[in-house]
Amino acid sequence: AQSVAQPEDQVNVAEGNPLTVKCTYSVSGNPYLFWYVQYPNRGLQFLLKYITGDNLVKGSYGFEAEFNKSQTSFHLKKPSALVSDSALYFCAVRPYRGSTLGRLYFGRGTQLTVWP
Amino acid sequence: EPEVTQTPSHQVTQMGQEVILRCVPISNHLYFYWYRQILGQKVEFLVSFYNNEISEKSEIFDDQFSVERPDGSNFTLKIRSTKLEDSAMYFCASSEVLAVADTQYFGPGTRLTVL
């Protein structure tokens, strides 16, 4: 069965400090991994994705994520957090094989709060 | 930048009533999806739709649910007889192609409250 875990419901970090939002996954076959962000009263906005190639993926707003196959992780990172990064972050996985080609499997989300 | 839009933003209904949630996908996209998120739980896939047919549906998407593309721009989710447990945020998404590498773009959601 495909699943995504975001072990932290909340992450708090001071502005200017590095941030990490954790994600681990379980999927049959090769994983295709995504990060989305949700600001209040907005939809899920795409941040970045890992398909193949370089394990470090760069995305929007200075975010990056590192794919680690041995640890089945895809942690979201940013070197220097901004107050405006405060939002709800979702990790999602899509399996490479099988009938569930289109669907995304989401984690429960992690609320990131960056204080000034 | 093109966006997926959804209406209404909030719908309140009585148990047993029918509701229709509306979505306008990005104009050149061909694949459409509905997901939902019950408060405090994961975002869950409901259904995908392509070429006027359901491509895939989850176990949640039972006979009470239906989807339709009534014209060239709208994509709707109908719940025939709402239950209390249908209360959730419903997200519409669209993608240009159907490929594992393709990105799904989401709308802002409709919050459905069933009383």
Question: Which domain range does residue B11 map to?
Answer: 5-96
Min distance A109 CA to chain B CA atoms (Å): 7
In a domain, B52, yes or no: yes
In a domain, B86, yes or no: yes
Confidence (pLDDT) at B98: 64
Q: Give the pLDDT band of residue A101 (cuts 50, 70, 90).
A: low
What is the C-alpha to C-alpha distance for residues B100 and B97, in angstroms, rounded to an integer?
9
Min distance A45 CA to chain B CA atoms (Å): 7
Span A45-96, pLDDT tens digits: 999 999 888 899 999 999 999 999 999 999 999 999 999 999 999 999 987 6
Q: Tell me whether residues A105 and B105 touch, CB distance under 8 A.
A: no
Q: What CATH number does the domain containing B31 carry?
A: 2.60.40.10
Res. B34: pLDDT tops 80: yes
- Listing DSSP states for B39-98 in one string gives TTS-EEEEEEEETTEEEEE-TT--TTEEEE--SSS-EEEEESS--GGG-EEEEEEEESS-
In a domain, B34, yes or no: yes
